[in-house]
Structure 1
Amino acid sequence: MRSADLGTLTTTADGRYQLRFERRLAHSPARVWRGITESGQLKSWFPMLVEFDLTPGAKVRFDMPDATIRRLGLAPGAPGTTGRGEMTQVDPPHLLEYTWDGEILRWELSPDGDGGCLLVFTNVFDDRDTAIPAASGWHAGLEVLAAVLDDRPVTWSAWDRADELTPAYTATVG
């Protein structure tokens, strides 16, 4: 893994924490947009099942998949298995931003001049202790997203991949 692939952690002006990831993808912003907004594509890589309307102010609902609930040993309906948010900014196919239980998820897509795009993803949150697991999880999820966009089969577990990435993130953001 190249260190350039690792996300970075900074502190925001208001004292929150921001994870930032950059990925160059061999797909147009319109194609990547579908990967981050269409439910059929989201369920292959996003950590929750997401329901939303791409209208600023619209409510967003997050539900933990049953397999994840079982993996984590949670009871259905336990705290953390559902979430709420709001769509805050939408400019297809360039900008998508919404909240998730107080966190901010922001996706910026720009053409790279070679037919692909630069994806910049940021996650803003309050609890510093979530930085390493969040970084490892988002990194693994973005790898799955890239595979899905490339029509490559995903033959690995994103959970296992996140576990593999944890030492690298412990060293860089820990």
Structure 2
Amino acid sequence: MNRLIDAGTFVQHDGRPAVRFERTYPHPVERVWEAVATPEGLANWFPSAVRIESHAGGAITFSGDPNLPPMSGTVLVFEPPRRLAFTWGGDELHFDLEPAEAGGCRFVLVNVLGDRTAAARNAAGWSVCLAELAKILAGRPAEGPHSDTAESWRSHYDAYVSSGMPYGAAIPGAPSTD
């Protein structure tokens, strides 16, 4: 069973705005690493298909997200099975894994934001994605974050905005307010 530690918080990461999530799973670090740091694992819960050169300085490419054009980034840290960080558009993603009680794994996802007004939007997206990851790790069917069976992005977004998380960044697919 997945134990939710936090619902996502707005934080500073090295002096930059970020959203942070922490989850604990009853699986060894190596199993969670396979789910969060390999193209095959990411395909089940991450919003884009990913190709990754498995070393710091390597290329990482993203495609297939209906809300974003294909793009590429750079692997900043690749230290299996504990740390992965990479650029994604104007953001950075940091995945940190460490052993937890009873052979489990503590997973921390930090999305360092290029624009602080993206906090609520991105936090809502990660909430949906992490719910899909939880399904996969629990051995339940998951169809990915863009599927009809995924949690509602809008309900997460509204909750983050109501909680005071910074918002205002463009929402893909929403009418422009220009």
Give the TM interval when normalised to the shorter protein.
0.7 to 0.9
Cα contact 2:44–2:142 (8 A) shared by 1: no
2: CA distance, partners of 1:157 / 1:168: 20
| TM-score, scaled relative to structure 1 | 0.83
Q: 1:86 to 1:154 in 2, by over 3 A?
A: same
> Is residue 2:157 matched to residue 1:166?
yes
Aligned equivalents of 1:88, 1:3: Cα separation in 2: 27
Aligned residue identity for 1:170? V
**Aligned-partner Cα distance in 1 for 2:13–2:134:** 28
Aligned positions of 1:126-137 closer than 5 A = 126-137=114-125
Give the secondary-structure state (helix, strand or coil) at the position aligned to 2:126.
Answer: helix
Note if contact 1:11-1:18 (Cα within 8 Å) is conserved in structure 2.
yes
The residue aligned with 1:154 is: 142
Contact 1:144–1:158 under 8 Å retained in 2? no
- Pair 1:153–1:28, CA change in 2 (3 A): same
Deviation at 1:144, TM superposition (A): 0.5
Residues 4 and 24 in structure 2, CA contact (< 8 A), matched pair in contact too: no
Aligned to 2:92: 104
Deviation at residue 41 of structure 1 after TM alignment: 2.1
The residue matched to 2:141 in structure 1 has which SS?
coil
Structure with bigger RCO (C-alpha 8 Å, 6+ apart) = 1
- 1:11 aligned to 2:12? yes
Structure 2 unpaired stretches of 5+? 167-178
Question: Does the Cα contact within 8 Å between 1:57 and 1:86 map onto a contact in 2?
Answer: yes
Identity %: 31
1:77 corresponds in structure 2 to none
Structure number with the higher helix fraction is 1
Q: Is the 8 A contact 1:137 1:159 kept in 2?
A: no
Distance in 2 separating the partners of 1:158 and 1:81: 23
In the TM superposition, residue 161 of structure 1 has moved relative to its aligned partner by: 2.2
Report if the CA contact (8 A) 1:90-1:96 is conserved. yes
Q: Describe the SS at the equivalent of 1:23.
A: strand
Q: Is the 8 A contact 2:34 2:41 kept in 1?
A: yes
| 1:94 corresponds to 2:85 | no
Partner of 1:52: 52
Say whether residues 1:125 and 2:113 are aligned partners.
yes
Q: 1:46: Cα distance to partner? A: 0.4
Q: Which moved more, 1:162-171 or 1:152-161?
A: 152-161
What's the counterpart of residue 39 of structure 1?
39
User: How many residues end up aligned between the 2 structures?
Assistant: 160
How many angstroms apart in 2 are the aligned matches of 1:12 and 1:4? 19
Query: In the TM superposition, what whole-angstrom CA distance separates every residue of 1:79-113 from its partner, at most 9, and x where no partner exists?
Result: x4111111111111111111112311001101112
| Structure 1: unaligned runs, 5 residues or longer | 73-79
Q: CA deviation at 1:13?
A: 4.8
